[in-house]
Amino acid sequence: MNETKYSERRFVIGGIFCVIALIYVVKLFTIQVMDSSYKLSAESNVFRRVIDYPARGLVFDRTGKLLVFNESTYDVLVTPNAVSEFDTLDLCNILGITIEYFRTELNKAIKYAPYKESVIFKQLTKQRYSVLQEKMYKFPGFDIQKRTARRYAYPYAAHVLGYIREADTSLINRDPYYKAGDYVGVSGIEKSYEKELRGVKGSKIYIVDVKNRVQGKYKDGKYDSAAVVGENVTSTLDIDLQVYGEKLMQNKVGAIVAIEPKTGEILALVSTPGYDPNLLVGSDMAVNYPKLVRDRFRPMYNRAIMGCYPPGSTFKTINALIGLHEGVIGPTTSFPCNGGFSIGRHIVKCHHGGSLDLISAIEHSCNTYFCHEFTRIIGDRKYGRADSAYSNWRRRVQSFGLGKKLGSDLSQEVNGIIYSKDYFNRFYGEGHWSATTIISLSIGQGELSFSPLQICNACATIANRGHYMIPHIVKTIGKDIPVDSRFYEPQETGIKDEYFETVIQGMYQVCEMGTGRSARVPGVKVCGKTGTAQNPHGKDHSIFEAFAPMDDPKIAIAVYVENGGFGATYAAPIAGLMIEKYLNDTITRKDVEQRMFNANLMNIDAQMKN
């Protein structure tokens, strides 16, 4: 019995060893015969793999004007163990660097890999390259690698187009595509469409001798792969309108956003002060980037999508629509105005007087009217409690794309601020607050902050009579790559069309006879709303939103001028000029244009005066 068991164990153990041996045989056969990549890896010590970097895709504006292109540039490589005696000073003069810098970089290369090539100088200009090429025989151990650098056709639209820089360690660790020395988009279109613009890297494999000298192509290039050029991108931007907007906003701090209402395409996105995007190209970036970051006016801060401002009286159009939808007011509802709305000893002041209906209240921007309306919205008995009515009101506000990220294809977009009822319940105590407690919200002040992009989008929603298309900056990618389908899906507010007509009539009156007359455009029906946002740090901000033409909107616009005072002072005329430029391509009000061009609001002392 024991002998039988012993015999069985021998067979089992023998079988196990046979299986293990068979596995090893199959694996060795696969490695040595079937899979040539292992052989290639094993022989890599006699190969040099050279990356073939693709050119990034070009960027155009909506009319086909070239905005971003590529320029040939060159990296200087060194193989330390192949270097022999040469004139160091001559090489440094050609490269435009100091001997100390050169020695530092050479020592890095020696420590990194003495037998392999390392980049010792990046993005050599064409001019310096032509000189170096003629003298390369004097510098044994050095070589040149062709690359491309970004160039920007206009010294404008930096925040829209973005810039590229070398991939950092964290990105390299996250994404295996990127290696040290690769470039990646870090803002604007360059970042949002990085995968489409970057293309696909290729590579070439060369046979080298023990001194790393090229002896020829491995397998006649069988394992080489060609680089694939990045896809071209057509943006929604109108570069002529963008440039005009930046000129109007020169020497001012603020933003302009213009959108085509029917499509959600961004026509212009201005943030000032701005900067020339070519400042962040090539070796100049190392010098210019720190300067831009330290600038007290923060030119790299994209106020159009990152800035959070109180909407001021532009928000009255939203409250009017919500009031109509909830049935707490009608087009003919009127409230008396005696210079303000009283809450105990506190008064929300108003510059108007008399009794006004809704259209007139929008036209004259009557604070009193909208305070009365807001108390009806929050005090609506069908919701039982103020916090429930507030939650419904907040949901309606957000349906216009306010106080939340819109989901555009521009990174760094902010949420804005519109607090939930929980915030007020914590602050005042549940059941201890009402409409009068938060009355500032009725006129776009208090606990409200939105980006200029959101305000412009809300204006486009009114222009569309109740829906918006998600704003986006890219129109087409390559020949057949689709833009994200979400940009073609209408976002509905749920408010009836008929209510929009009443508010739009009021906005038309604003530009014809009301507070926004400075935005009038000859021959065009402009609908707008002025706003003046309180600023605890200096003069109030000047705000204006508008769309035109009234019955067939082709442009919606929002303008913010920090410390600009009343909305009619700067924001409204700038908006009117932008509308005229886009629709007519000519400017008839040259005096207004010159006044905007020449206005300088960037004097710190002047800004701090009320």
Q: What is the pLDDT of residues 258-308, one digit of tens each?
A: 999 999 999 999 999 999 999 998 878 888 999 999 999 999 999 999 999
Q: Judge contact between 52 and 227, C-beta under 8 A.
A: yes
Residues forming a β-bridge with 144: 76
CB 137 within 8 A of CB 103: no
CA-closest candidate to residue 374, choices 318, 428, 423:
318
Q: Which of 199, 214, 207, 117 is nearest to 164 (CA)?
A: 199
What distance lies between CA 564 and its chain's CA centroid? 25
Measure the CA–CA gap between 122 and 149, rounded to whole angstroms.
10
Closest CA to 256 of 407, 539, 469, 451: 451
203 has which bridge partners? 51, 225
Q: Would you state the pLDDT for residue 607?
A: 44
Considering only CA atoms, which of 394, 366, 376 is closest in space to residue 506? 366
- Where residue 41 falls among pLDDT bands split at 50, 70, 90? very low
Residue 527 has pLDDT above 60, yes or no: yes
pLDDT at 173 over 70: yes
**Torsions phi, psi for 137 (to 5 deg):** -65, -20
452: which 2 tokens?
């200029």
Residue tagged 């015969």 (tokens): 33
Spatial distance between the Cα atoms of 354 and 595, rounded to a whole number of angstroms: 34
- The two three-digit tokens of residue 391, written as one number: 């939650």
Residues 593 and 576: their CA atoms lie apart, in Å, by 10
Kindly report the pTM of this predicted structure.
Answer: 0.86
Structure tokens at 332: 């003919």
Q: Choose among 147, 159, 169, 156: nearest CA to 190.
A: 159
Cα angle value 128/132/138 (rounded, 5°): 155
Please give the share of the chain, as a percent, with pLDDT higher than 90. Answer: 65
Both tokens assigned to 115: 């037998």
Mean pLDDT for the stretch of residues 347-365:
89
Q: How would residue 40 be classed by pLDDT, with cut points 50, 70 and 90? A: very low
265: tokens are 């395409």
**Cis, peptide link before residue 549, omega less than 30° from 0:** yes
How many C-beta atoms surround the C-beta of residue 282 within 10 A?
A: 16
Q: Give me the pLDDT at residue 44, please.
A: 46
- DSSP helix/strand/coil, 528: strand
pLDDT of residue 610: 39
Among the listed residues 90, 88, 85, 84, the one whose alpha carbon sits nearest the alpha carbon of residue 105: 88
Whole-number pLDDT of residue 203: 85
CA distance 507 to 527: 5
pLDDT exceeds 80 at position 609: no
Query: What gap in Å lies between CA 315 and CA 440, rounded to an integer?
Result: 11
State how far Cα 77 lies from the chain centre: 35
Q: Quote the mean pLDDT of the chain.
A: 89
pLDDT class for 605, splitting at 50, 70, 90? Answer: very low
The superfamily (CATH) of domain 47-235 is Penicillin-binding protein 2a (Domain 2) (3.90.1310.10)
Residues 61, 235: Cα–Cα separation, whole Å: 5
pLDDT at 72: 85
- The stretch 313-321 carries a mean pLDDT of 97
In the chain, the amino acid numbered 322 is I
Between 240-249, 352-361, 508-517, 582-591, the lowest mean confidence (pLDDT) is in 352-361
Phi, psi values for residue 560, rounded to 5°: -120, 125
For 546-600, write each residue's pLDDT tens digit: 999 999 999 999 999 999 988 989 999 999 999 999 999 999 999 999 999 999 9
Least confident residue range of 62-66, 107-111, 318-322, 416-420: 107-111
Q: Give the model confidence (pLDDT) of 371-386 as tens digits.
A: 999 999 999 888 889 9
Q: Contact 336/355 with Cβ under 8 angstroms? A: yes
CA pair distance 548, 581, nearest whole angstrom: 12
The number of helix segments (H) and strand segments (E) in the chain equals 22, 22
